[in-house]
């Protein structure tokens, strides 16, 4: 399978002239994006979960094979901090079911001040397993902890047992946590590079991440990569450059636009 490369969101005004030509209206940006990228991470769902009808509309507006990862609601991760996950997980899955076969992984990003609680994590993953039982291709969950106390053998074992991927993350060109492989597929988020103009990534950093992916997963494994450094179109430019780095590492990237 190819390495699926995309961005965290698609509706950024600073991308006009970088990805979106002046003549393309904003209401058509998703269609334009999906013609050039094979995947996107829906970051807005973290702030406000859209109704099922909206997800159904996104499915209709994107081509077959397009994949939309969805970030779990902050109500689950930041307000409840994974307490009593049944209702928010069920509500999220009911809405995202509108994507049908275009539903990709669900990202569970934890607050940086949330210290490790393996019991809550396991209960949350169990709810996703129950709620995702009706997903034909199976539901994939990626977890992005951001407090150092999560880097323990207990947490790694829980992620592995549930087949949940530890979301690899980068900030300023370096990993922000251990590079555990806890599932047969991978998930990488790149938040901010060190190149100019900020927050671009250097070519060397992109090559290092491409090499890590090639070393960790076999060619047939799915690996999702999302650039979250959206200001000024940096994410678009870096995603295109990363596709070249993936090719140099001997892997095949999914469609990406030519370097803007």
C-beta separation of 254 from 2 below 8 A? yes
pLDDT of 33 higher than 60: yes
Using one digit for the tens of pLDDT, what is the confidence trace for 229-249? 999 999 999 999 999 999 999
The whole-angstrom separation of Cα 47 and Cα 112 is 17
The whole-angstrom separation of Cα 88 and Cα 167 is 21
pTM, two decimal places: 0.97
**What is the structure's pLDDT at 132?**
83
**What is the structure's pLDDT at 259?**
66
Using one digit for the tens of pLDDT, what is the confidence trace for 186-225? 999 999 999 999 999 999 999 999 999 999 999 999 999 9
Using one digit for the tens of pLDDT, what is the confidence trace for 66-114? 999 999 999 999 999 999 999 999 999 999 999 999 999 999 999 999 9
Strand positions, DSSP E, the chain: 3-7, 39-42, 67-71, 103-109, 141-144, 165-166, 168-171, 174-175, 186-190, 223-227
**What is the structure's pLDDT at 137?**
72
- The pLDDT of 154-172, averaged and rounded, is 97
- The pLDDT of 136-143, averaged and rounded, is 88
The whole-angstrom separation of Cα 192 and Cα 172 is 5
- Average pLDDT value over all residues in the chain: 96
The whole-angstrom separation of Cα 12 and Cα 219 is 33
With H, G, I as helix, E, B as strand and everything else as coil, classify residue 221: coil
Give the Å distances, CA to CA, from 199 to 96, 228, 229: 31, 10, 6
- The pLDDT of 61-65, averaged and rounded, is 97
The whole-angstrom separation of Cα 128 and Cα 255 is 30
Choices 3.20.20.410, 3.60.150.10, 3.40.50.920, 3.40.640.10: CATH for 3-248: 3.20.20.410
pLDDT of 58 higher than 80: yes
Confidence of residue 136 (pLDDT cuts 50, 70, 90): low
Angle, alpha carbons 52-121-72 (nearest 5°): 25
C-beta separation of 113 from 77 below 8 A? no
- The pLDDT of 134-139, averaged and rounded, is 78
Looking at per-residue confidence, does 259 or 250 come out higher? 250
The whole-angstrom separation of Cα 38 and Cα 3 is 10
Which is it for the CA torsion 154, 125, 63, 53, positive or negative?
negative
The whole-angstrom separation of Cα 15 and Cα 24 is 12
Supply φ then ψ for residue 114, to 5 degrees: -90, 105
- The pLDDT of 163-180, averaged and rounded, is 96
- The pLDDT of 45-71, averaged and rounded, is 97
Q: Give the other-Cβ count within 10 Å of 38's Cβ.
A: 20
pLDDT of 145 higher than 80: yes
């Amino acid at each position: 399978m190819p390495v699926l490369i995309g961005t965290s969101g698609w509706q950024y005004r600073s991308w006009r002239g970088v990805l979106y030509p002046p003549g393309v209206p904003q209401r058509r940006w998703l269609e334009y994006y999906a013609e050039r990228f094979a995947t996107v991470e829906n970051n807005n769902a973290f702030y406000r979960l859209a109704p099922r009808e909206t997800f159904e509309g996104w499915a209709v507006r994107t081509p077959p094979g397009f994949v939309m990862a969805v970030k779990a609601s902050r109500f689950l991760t930041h307000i409840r901090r994974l307490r009593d996950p049944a209702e928010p997980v069920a509500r999220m899955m009911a809405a995202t079911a509108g994507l049908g076969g275009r539903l990709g992984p669900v990202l569970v990003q934890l607050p940086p001040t949330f210290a490790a609680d393996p019991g809550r994590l396991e209960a949350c993953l169990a709810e996703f397993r129950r709620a995702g039982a009706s997903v034909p291709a199976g539901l994939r969950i990626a977890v992005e902890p951001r407090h150092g106390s999560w880097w323990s053998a207990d947490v790694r074992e829980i992620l592995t047992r549930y087949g949940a991927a530890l979301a690899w993350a980068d900030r300023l060109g370096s990993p922000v946590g251990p590079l555990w492989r806890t599932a047969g597929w991978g998930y990488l988020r790149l938040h901010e590079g060190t190149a100019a103009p900020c927050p671009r990534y250097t070519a060397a950093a992109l090559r290092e991440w491409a090499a890590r992916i090639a070393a960790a997963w076999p060619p047939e494994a799915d690996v999702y990569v999302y650039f979250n450094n959206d200001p000024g179109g940096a994410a678009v430019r870096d995603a295109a450059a990363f596709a070249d780095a993936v090719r140099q590492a001997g892997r095949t990237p999914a469609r990406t636009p030519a370097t803007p």
